[in-house]
Structure formats: structure tokens, C-alpha cells
Amino acid sequence: MTFNKTETEEKKYLQQIITILNNTINNTDAFIKEHVDTLAEYKDYLWSNKDIDPHEIRSMRESILNHFARGESVIDKRKRLGKILDIPYFGRIDFKEKKEGSKLIPVYIGVHTFYDFETKSHLIYDWRAPISSMFYDYELGDASYLSPSGKIEGELSLKRQFRIRKGNMEYMIESSLTVHDDILQKELSSNADDKMKNIVATIQREQNRIIRNEDARVLIIQGVAGSGKTSIALHRIAYLLYSRKGNLSSKDILIISPNKVFADYISNVLPELGEENISETSIDQILSNILDNKYTYQNFFDQVNELLSSPSPDFIDRIRYKATTDFTYQLNRFILHIENNYFKAVDVKLTKHVTVPAEFIEEQFRRFDRYPMRRRFETMTDYILEIMTVQYRFSVTTAEKNLLKKEIKKMFTGNNDVQVYKDFFAWMGKPEMFKMRKNRVLEYSDLAPLAYIHIALEGNPCPNHVKHLLIDEMQDYSPIQYGIIQKLYSCPKTILGDASQSVDPYGSSTADMIRKVFATGKVMKLCKSYRSTCEITAFAQKIRTNAELEPVARHGEKPQIIKFKDEEEEISGIADLISTFKKSTHKSLGIICKTELQAKEITGKLKLYMDDIYFLSNQSSDFVRGIVITSAHMAKGLEFDEVIIPQANDKNYNSEIDKSMLYVAITRAMHRLTLTYCGKRSALLNHSD
């Protein structure tokens, strides 16, 4: 017999659940008030009785601390209940275990679990619970899940999906598929929000496999544009926090993200899933910190900007050379060369009568080879003096000790990172591959190799507490950068990106290149694209074909390419397109330019027509909904209901890196895409009609 057979019965049951939730919330509120009143009483008592016995004070302090801890726990529960009240659940499966005497269990699945202590039953199961995995993985019929006690086999006899908002059931769909197309289509057709949202109601089977994968120590997710890879990675983090509770917390996780805007854009997802946000950093910050922040350098944004504006062939060659796996291999060979050739021991006259022989010093340098080269000097000095004092029976002064350490350090010719780095290129016979810019500014591609050498000579910085590392936009990091990440973070990792969306085709990495760095790496692919309509996806495929990309069938307007007679008319035309957007039901519009300078210039010109536009620069830290003007580089990872790409002419878009930028810009659009230009249309668009 089916429990809650009809939609009417389901709606009635939903109201029963909401009543139970409200009663629980009221009891929780009363409990919180009681806690607050009790703490106030403790405070008044301590204030009024200042001469009470110290033992009693200690006892009361313990009671107060216990009350605080219990109070915090109850307040967290109250917040969670408030969230459940709005959308208690989104799915239901009926499961019967293949075991004698087993009963059919209706399993309602939501973002958070809800256990009713009166009936002693789970009314709602967390989407991450083992039993909930069947909702994503199985159609009706035989099904199983892995519980802590082993594999549980049985049969799914019912599967339903609900859309509940503010406690009201908008619709119910009976489904035999993993996640019914009707609900997926409704969600995909909705407008982009100001922040990334959770997708627990529409997780697909291939996405669920990635989220729940606990076997891979390094999981590399290659996902096509619009496949939801970042969202899936964050849901994976939420799942790991659930499954490893007690061993893993939000403060143990770090994300290496492309910029502050992207970090802000994704900041809603984990809190929506009931978890605290995780710390974020950038690869630039990591590398600069290794080098004690003592160098001025091009950042990644600066490098891409130069590649887009006026790159010299030599500049491209230098980037390309340092982004190969062979470069890391040669650097490791050179570090071994330093070990064998950079320490030249000489006799040290310690006192009038005592000389430390060069051979003995050389021997100690080799003896302490478990230490990084520059870290040996202190230990060598202590050991040598210990032996010498025993042998010659004399006391060593601080000055003599400092003299010996200073002399030993001078014997090593690798004390300057930049000089050692220059030596490497001379040793390779490629001195032209290193170029220091004006005012001793390092090129971005030199920052990682320099940090790599520094770690080899100085050792790793202080140990970090990170237990899981999340790396987004994986294609934008070079093998040498991954080599550093591996040295600094030995923890499990989730690495994600798309080789087709590199903003620097000369210095990027593929999933296979990354797997070579991490011997235990497992590559999983996300090939379905959910973001854009079929028409926009087909347009993007003509710019850069990805044979693995499989669009979800959602149709919309065909992308437009509009020609204007001059720049002034183009700006006026874009202003008209913005006016049309404002009259539509769409909520977000991205005007995506090739470079930040172009975006800034167009912002200034459009401000003459309207004020409600927002310029998103590489210095921005917040993502705002509405009309955003930015560069393709900054738009990576973001999505908009509509996208306008200005200046799509042959002068602006013609090179390989221009193609990358154009592809990134196009794939940000969900529902509508327009390209504008004056002059001659870019040849990259010749096959896009």
C-alpha cells in the first residue's frame, strides 16, 4: 500500500510536517529563552555575591560554559529548522529491503535531516545520507546503497519530485527517471541569481558519482562549459563534511580560486547546505608567501592582459617553455646539480691554534643531506664545534660560533634565489628564457619556478592544517605550479576545470598533464552542458569544438550578430539592447569585453546613457546582480541570463588567445546572446551564421 498516494494527500502530509516543525521551533525558542534567563541569573548571582567561595565560583563557571555550549548547539538547530521550514524536502523514494519481514519505507529527502523525537523516526533525510543516494542513482526496480554496516539491497517502488517554496507545494512529479527532465528544465529555464545556488534537487547520476567519490585521493574533474563543475565540487565538499564529521570540518578545507569576485559568487552554496564557508586563497598569494613577499611580480591577470594587448613572440616563448612537464624535470635535475656542485668547502681558522679542515666541513654537508641545503649550516656548525671541542678540549665563544657559521654559509654559492634561477638557464644553455622587467619586476611565469627553487633550498614553509584542497580553474595552472602545490599540500584534493576555457593557451594544463603530477590522480568527466540553450551551445561549438560536449535539450533564441557603421552607433546600439533587457523578465546581463581596458572604456561611454551599470574589475571583491561590464578573464565561472559581446571585429578577435576569450564570453550566456561590431566582422565568427 502506498503511503500518501495522491498529490492532495502529499499536500496534506506536507502541512503536517510543517506543523511538527513549527512546534519543534516553538519548543526550541522556549529552550533558548530559558537558557538566556538562566545565564542572566548566574551573572546576577556572581555580581551580588562577590565574596563567595572560590570552589563555588569554579563550579558556576563550569555551569555557565556548559550552558553556553548547549545554547550554541540549540541556536544552530534553530537556524537549521528555519531553513527546513521553507523547503522541507524535494524528493521521495519508497524502498523495501530484500530481507524477510522488511517493511516498505517512504524516504523524504531534503537539504537537511529532521528527526522527530516524539515518534522516534526520521521524517526527512539529508540528501547526503547513504539511503538518499538511491534518489539520484536509480530508476524504479532493483536498487541498493552502502550503509556503514555494508551494502543494503532492495527495491524502489516509487519516486517523486516536489517543488516546495515557502511551505507550499507548487507541483509534484511522479518519476521513473534519475531526476525528471520536467523539473530539470524548469530549474534551467529560471533566471541567474546574484550568487550560485545549491542544486541538490537536480543532481544528475554522473554528478552524484563525483560528489560521493571517497576513494580517489586526488579527484580531477574535467567538465565542459556549463556542466556545473564548480557547484558539483562544492556539493562534494558538503558531502565530505557530512560523511567525515568529527575528522573534517570547514576550517580544514582550502580553496584556490581565480579571484575574489568568483569567491564571493560561490559563497552561498555551502551555507545553503548547512555548512560554514571555507577559506580561500590564490596561487599568486601562495607563491608570493613562499618567497616572503619580497619580489614585485606580474600577476596572472597582468600576464593575460599583456598576451591580449601586445605580446612579443619572445614573451610567448618564455611562457610556453616554463609550462611544460619537461621544464619541471630539468629544474629537478638542476637542483641535484646544486647539491653536488654549489658547496665548495675551504679550511676555516677558528682560533690561533685550531683550524677546521675543508674535507671535514665537506663531509658534514653530505652527512646532513636530509636537511634542505640552506638549513644545514646551523646544524653543521653545532656538530663541527661539538667534535672540535671534544678533540681539542677548548670552549667556543659565541663570536667563534658565528664566525664558523658565516664562513660555512659563504662556501655555498646558492644563497640568492634569483641568481640561482639565472644559473639554471645558463646551465640549460637558454639564458634568453629569463627576463627581469623594468624596476626588477618578475614575469608571472617566473614566480612559480623561483618559489620551487626556494623550497628546494630552504625547505617547506610551516606545516599547514589543510586536510582537503579544492582547486578551481585547473587549466590555468602550469605543471610547475602543481609541483609546488603537491609539495605544500599532501592532503586529498579535488581539482576541477575545463581545458577548453583556458585564458592563457600558452601556459595551461590539461587533465592528463595534471594527473602526471599527482600519481594517485583519478580523472572523472562531466560532459553534459546545462547552462546555455542549444542555440548558444551550438554557436560556441563553432568557435571552439569540444567533441565531448553534450547539450541538454533546452531551446531559445538564436544568437544575434549585429553590425554597426561606427563605434558611436555600436555604443548606442548596446544601450538599446540594455533597454530591451530591462523590459524583459531576465535578471542579469553581462557585457563581456576582451580586455579590462575595453570594459572600462565602454562603461564610461554607456554611463552617458544610464547609471545602473556595474564595472567588474580585477580589483573588485563582490559580485552584483544586474548589468555587469567586465572582461572575459573576470567572467570565467560566472553566468548571466543575457550576454552582450561588443567589438567582435577582426582587429579585436583574431589570435588563438582571442579565440579562448571569445569562447569563455559566449559560454557565460544562459538564455540570450548578442555580439556587436563595426568595421569587418571577426573571421572567428565566419562559420557562426
Backbone angles phi, psi at 483, to 5 degrees: -60, -40
Q: Output the pLDDT for position 93.
A: 95
| Residue 71 cell numbers, joined | 545554547
Comparing 34-38, 260-264, 438-442, the range with the smallest average pLDDT is: 34-38
Q: 3-state DSSP call for residue 63?
A: helix
Q: 3-state DSSP call for residue 78?
A: helix
Q: Output the pLDDT for position 687.
A: 77
Q: Which own/partner pairs from 174-177 qualify as long-range (CB within 8 Å, at least 24 positions apart)?
A: 176/139, 176/140, 177/139
> What is the length of the chain?
689
Confidence category of residue 616, pLDDT binned at 50, 70, 90: very high
Per the DSSP assignment, residues forming a β-bridge with 477 are: none
Q: Output the pLDDT for position 642.
A: 97
| Residue 232 cell numbers, joined | 558539483
Q: Is 164 in contact with 18 (CB distance < 8 Å)?
A: no
Give the whole-angstrom CA distance, residue 548 versus residue 532.
16
> Mean pLDDT, to the nearest integer, of 545-568?
93
Q: Output the pLDDT for position 448.
A: 96
Strand 627-631 relative to strand 614-615, pairing? parallel
Q: Is the model's pLDDT at 22 over the cut of 70?
A: yes
Comparing 48-57, 78-87, 93-102, 654-663, the range with the smallest average pLDDT is: 48-57
Confidence category of residue 35, pLDDT binned at 50, 70, 90: low
Q: Is 475 in contact with 497 (CB distance < 8 Å)?
A: yes
Q: Output the pLDDT for position 586.
A: 93
Q: Output the pLDDT for position 31.
A: 58
| Residue 200 cell numbers, joined | 541538490
Check residue 684 and report its DSSP letter.
Answer: G
Neighbours of 586 (CB within 10 A): 17
Q: Is the model's pLDDT at 189 over the cut of 70?
A: no
Q: Is the model's pLDDT at 543 over the cut of 70?
A: yes
| Residue 683 cell numbers, joined | 573571421
Task: Give just the sign of the alpha carbon dihedral 369, 373, 379, 383.
Answer: positive
For residue 566, give every residue at least 6 positions away whose Cβ sits within 8 Å of its Cβ, in sequence order, or none: 678
Give the whole-angstrom CA distance, residue 364 versus residue 378.
11
Q: Output the pLDDT for position 41.
A: 59
Give the whole-angstrom CA distance, residue 127 versus residue 685.
44
Q: Is the model's pLDDT at 75 over the cut of 90?
A: no
Per 3-state DSSP, what percentage of the chain is helix, strand, and coil (rounded to 5)? 50, 20, 35
DSSP alpha helices (H): ranges in 393-443? Answer: 398-411, 417-428
Give the whole-angstrom CA distance, residue 622 versus residue 305.
21
pLDDT digits (tens, 9 = 90+) for 415-451: 999 999 999 999 999 999 999 999 999 999 999 999 9
pTM: 0.87
Mean residue pLDDT across the chain: 89
pLDDT digits (tens, 9 = 90+) for 573-593: 999 999 999 999 999 999 999
Check residue 72 and report its DSSP letter.
Answer: H
Q: Output the pLDDT for position 341.
A: 96
For residue 535, give every residue at least 6 positions away whose Cβ sits within 8 Å of its Cβ, in sequence order, or none: 555, 556, 557, 558, 559
Give the whole-angstrom CA distance, residue 628 versus residue 614.
5
Q: Is 542 in contact with 687 (CB distance < 8 Å)?
A: yes
Give the whole-angstrom CA distance, residue 329 versus residue 337.
13
Q: Output the pLDDT for position 396.
A: 82
Between 353 and 98, the more confident residue is 98
Q: Output the pLDDT for position 267.
A: 85
Q: Output the pLDDT for position 517.
A: 86
Q: Output the pLDDT for position 49.
A: 64
> Mean pLDDT, to the nearest integer, of 49-71?
60
Q: 3-state DSSP call for residue 359?
A: helix
| Residue 580 cell numbers, joined | 530591451
Whose grid coordinates read 567586465? Answer: 630
Q: Is 483 in contact with 515 (CB distance < 8 Å)?
A: no
For residue 295, give the amino acid letter. Y
pLDDT digits (tens, 9 = 90+) for 84-93: 888 999 999 9
For helices 444-458 and 283-290, the axis angle rounded to 10 degrees is 40
Q: Output the pLDDT for position 25.
A: 82
Q: Output the pLDDT for position 110.
A: 93
For residue 364, give every residue at least 6 positions away whose Cβ sits within 8 Å of its Cβ, in sequence order, or none: 376, 380, 383, 384
Q: 3-state DSSP call for residue 367?
A: helix
User: What is the Cα 58 distance to its own chain's centre?
Assistant: 45
Q: Is 562 in contact with 676 (CB distance < 8 Å)?
A: yes
> Mean pLDDT, to the nearest integer, of 268-291?
90
Q: For residue 258, how many C-alpha atoms fall within 13 Å in the half-sphere facing its CB?
A: 27
Q: Output the pLDDT for position 52.
A: 65
Confidence category of residue 56, pLDDT binned at 50, 70, 90: low
Per the DSSP assignment, residues forming a β-bridge with 628 are: 590, 614
Of the candidates 465, 437, 463, 480, the residue with the CA atom closest to the CA atom of residue 323: 480
Neighbours of 82 (CB within 10 A): 12
Q: Is 470 in contact with 491 (CB distance < 8 Å)?
A: no
Q: Output the pLDDT for position 513.
A: 87
Confidence category of residue 42, pLDDT binned at 50, 70, 90: low
Confidence category of residue 181, pLDDT binned at 50, 70, 90: low
Q: What is the Cα Rg of the chain in Å? A: 31
Q: Is the model's pLDDT at 179 over the cut of 60?
A: no
Q: Output the pLDDT for position 392.
A: 77
Strand 468-471 relative to strand 493-497, pairing? parallel
> Mean pLDDT, to the nearest integer, of 621-640?
91
Between 207 and 68, the more confident residue is 207
Q: Output the pLDDT for position 460.
A: 87
Task: Give just the sign of the alpha carbon dihedral 667, 672, 677, 683.
Answer: positive
pLDDT digits (tens, 9 = 90+) for 242-258: 999 999 999 999 999 98
Between 78 and 393, the more confident residue is 393
Give the whole-angstrom CA distance, residue 287 versus residue 298.
12
Q: Is 276 in contact with 250 (CB distance < 8 Å)?
A: yes
Confidence category of residue 596, pLDDT binned at 50, 70, 90: very high
Q: Is 406 in contact with 400 (CB distance < 8 Å)?
A: no
Q: Output the pLDDT for position 261.
A: 84
pLDDT digits (tens, 9 = 90+) for 556-567: 999 999 999 999
Neighbours of 648 (CB within 10 A): 25
> Mean pLDDT, to the nearest integer, of 223-230?
92
Q: What is the DSSP string of 315-342?
A: HHHHHHHTTSHHHHHHHHHHHHHHHHHS
Between 126 and 63, the more confident residue is 126
Task: Give just the sign of the alpha carbon dihedral 249, 254, 257, 261.
Answer: positive
Q: Is the model's pLDDT at 176 over the cut of 70?
A: no
Confidence category of residue 216, pLDDT binned at 50, 70, 90: very high
> Mean pLDDT, to the nearest integer, of 602-614?
93
Check residue 526 and report its DSSP letter.
Answer: E
Backbone angles phi, psi at 676, to 5 degrees: -125, 155
Q: 3-state DSSP call for residue 205?
A: helix
> Mean pLDDT, to the nearest integer, of 485-502?
92
